[in-house]
């Protein structure tokens, strides 16, 4: 019998799920071997825009970037901003590297592993935006502690965001939506939900793109929800 272990991703310090899928194609493996080391977040020290890009610029952080479509889109849209993406899945990282190469993006750094390891090393009040788009919903109640939307990570997000910085969350899972709204009610002193009408969370705001996952979700009849929170 396995005992219940309380906590959340901030205290459990463990990644769940696969770290790789199908074997990488030759070109993808070359990107991982050659380009990833050039773009990887340093393994030690504070993580700042100056340390990563050599200057002071707005800094964005995407947690679990999947195949990197949104990350690459945002980085291309805002070339004078810096972007950090964290993703534990090797195949997603390889695909993201392809986007970065093809779009000649110079303002992206990647971490293949636990996003929270990197986030802890970012000085407080440094981030302009944090993106958490379609995280694993872990819909079973006994797995709720694995959900990224939990009290520990939300407090960490609030610590790292600048005043008026923004946290964007997207999900198409009703259990995760309800869970997120409940958790965020406990953080209204630091993170303010910006929605004023239903349209504000039923339709994406400017700067969002529909990724392949989002398109698949709509085809299968699931509605995505788009939640935006502003750091007070």
Measured N-to-C along each axis, helices 174-184 and 151-160 cross at an angle, to the nearest 10 degrees, of: 60
| pLDDT, tens digit, 9 for 90 and up, residues 135-164 | 999 999 999 999 999 999 999 999 999 999
| Residue 16 is assigned to a structural domain of this protein | no
- Report pLDDT digits (tens) over 47-100: 999 999 999 999 999 999 999 999 999 999 999 999 999 999 999 999 999 999
Bridge partner residues of 13 (DSSP)? none
| 88 within a domain of the structure (yes/no) | yes
Tell me: the pLDDT tens digits for 163-222? 999 999 999 999 999 999 999 999 999 999 999 999 999 998 888 888 888 888 889 999
Nearest CA-CA partner of 114 in 23, 9, 36: 9
pLDDT at 15: 56
In a domain, 157, yes or no: yes
List, for residues 1-30, the tens digit of each pLDDT value.
Answer: 334 446 788 876 565 555 556 899 999 999
- The C-alpha atoms of residue 192 and residue 163 are separated, in whole angstroms, by 11
Could you give the angle at the alpha carbon of 115 between the alpha carbons of 4 and 205, nearest 5°? 105
Number of structural domains, the chain?
1
Residue 172 lies in a domain: yes
What pLDDT, on the 0 to 100 scale, is given for residue 5?
47
136 catalytic, yes or no? yes
Strands 59-63 and 225-231: unpaired
Say if 187 falls within a structural domain: yes
Residue 110 domain flag:
yes
Instruction: Report yes or no on 81 lying in a domain.
Output: yes
Mean pLDDT (whole number) for 115-119 = 97
DSSP 58: -
pLDDT of residue 142: 94
Which residue range forms the structural domain that includes residue 139? Answer: 46-231
The per-residue pLDDT for 9 is 85
pTM: 0.92
CATH number at residue 211: 3.40.50.150
List, edge to edge, every strand of the sheet that includes 59-63. Answer: 108-111, 82-86, 59-63, 127-133, 161-171, 225-231, 191-193
Confidence at residue 16, expressed as pLDDT on a 0 to 100 scale: 58
Q: What percent of the chain has pLDDT over 70?
A: 93
Active-site position among 136, 172, 189, 200: 136
Residue 82's DSSP bridge partners are: 59
CA distance 100 to 79: 12
Give the pLDDT confidence score for residue 18 in this predicted structure: 53
38 in a structural domain: no
pLDDT score recorded for residue 80: 98
Burial status of residue 171 (CB atoms within 10 A of its CB: 0-12, 13-18, 19 or more): buried
């Amino acid at each position: 019998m396995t005992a219940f272990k309380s906590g959340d991703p901030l205290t459990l310090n463990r990644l769940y799920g696969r770290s790789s899928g199908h074997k990488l194609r030759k070109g993808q493996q070359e990107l991982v071997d050659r380009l990833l080391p050039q773009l990887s977040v340093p393994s030690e020290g504070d993580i700042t825009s100056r340390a990563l890009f050599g200057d002071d610029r707005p800094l964005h952080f995407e947690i679990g970037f999947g195949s990197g479509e949104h990350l690459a889109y945002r980085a291309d849209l805002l070339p004078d901003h810096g972007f950090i993406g964290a993703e534990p899945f090797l195949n997603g990282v390889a695909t993201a590297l392809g986007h970065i190469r093809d779009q000649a993006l110079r303002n992206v750094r990647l971490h293949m592993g636990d996003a929270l390891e990197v986030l802890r090393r970012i000085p407080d009040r440094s981030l302009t935006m944090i993106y958490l788009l379609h995280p694993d919903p872990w819909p079973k109640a006994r797995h709720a502690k694995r959900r990224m939307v939990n009290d520990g990570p939300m407090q960490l997000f609030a610590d790292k965001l600048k005043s008026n910085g923004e946290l964007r969350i997207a999900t198409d899972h009703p259990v995760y939506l309800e869970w997120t709204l409940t958790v965020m009610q406990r953080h209204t002193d630091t993170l303010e939900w910006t929605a004023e009408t239903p349209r504000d969370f039923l339709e994406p705001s400017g700067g969002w793109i529909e990724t392949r996952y989002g398109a698949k979700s709509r085809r299968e009849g699931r509605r995505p929800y788009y939640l935006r929170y502003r750091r007070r």
